[in-house]
């Protein structure tokens, strides 16, 4: 990889860190802290949130019919999501130790915290749990797949990829047959060092 690409990757990483810092500053006015893994709001904030909570019956009456009609379809997706989750667990449990790839920490991707918000009613909390699970699971699956790709085929694609995973920037250039064999071993060794 040439120096210009390395520099661009470093800039992307720096911008992602800057964005995360800005997002945290933006939320600082909400007055919550995380202590011992639990979210703690200032008491006046919790009280204000409780007052904004909408009654379940009122929420159902205010909901658009299309939202209520589509809910069973959306929630039915929990079955294939759970199958994917179990499949990823089995896959990592068997394959990753064989290849000396460190397992992906599922808990770093699937976060359940929004259901603690006092201004959400029961259905809104359930929706937040579902979305946190579904989106977290997909992000977790992507990391499992990216580690697998780094081990088996760390080659860049010829065409443009929308929203590529971060590991792919360092992969072997498409068509670089001369360096392929040596570089694959290098990527596997790097993966072993970085994730164990």
For residue 44, what are the CA distances in angstroms to 8, 25, 115, 187? 45, 20, 19, 52
**pLDDT of 196 above 50:** no
Exposed/middle/buried for residue 81 (C-beta within 10 Å: 0-12, 13-18, 19+) = middle
Task: Quote the pLDDT of residue 194.
Answer: 61
Confidence (pTM): 0.79
Dump pLDDT digits (tens) for 82-105.
999 999 999 999 999 999 998 999
Task: Quote the pLDDT of residue 28.
Answer: 64
Task: Quote the pLDDT of residue 16.
Answer: 81
- Rounded (5°) CA angle 176-179-180: 75
């Amino acid at each position: 990889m040439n120096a210009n690409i390395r520099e661009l990757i470093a800039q992307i990483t720096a911008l992602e860190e800057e964005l995360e810092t800005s997002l945290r500053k933006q939320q600082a006015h909400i007055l919550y802290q995380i202590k011992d893994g639990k979210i703690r709001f200032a008491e006046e904030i919790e009280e204000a949130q409780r007052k904004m909570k909408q009654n379940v019956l009122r929420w159902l009456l205010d909901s658009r019919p299309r939202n209520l009609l589509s809910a069973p379809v959306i929630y039915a997706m929990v079955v294939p999501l759970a199958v994917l989750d179990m499949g990823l667990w089995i896959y990592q449990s068997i394959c990753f130790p064989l290849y000396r790839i460190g397992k992906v920490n599922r808990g770093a991707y699937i976060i359940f915290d929004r259901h603690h918000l006092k201004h959400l009613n029961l259905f809104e909390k359930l929706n937040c749990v579902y979305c946190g699970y579904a989106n977290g699971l997909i992000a977790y699956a992507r990391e499992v797949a990216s580690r697998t790709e780094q081990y088996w085929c760390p080659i860049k694609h010829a065409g443009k990829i929308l929203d590529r995973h971060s590991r792919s920037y360092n992969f072997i250039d498409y068509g670089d047959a001369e360096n392929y064999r040596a570089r694959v071993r290098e990527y596997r060794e790097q993966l072993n060092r970085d994730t164990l």
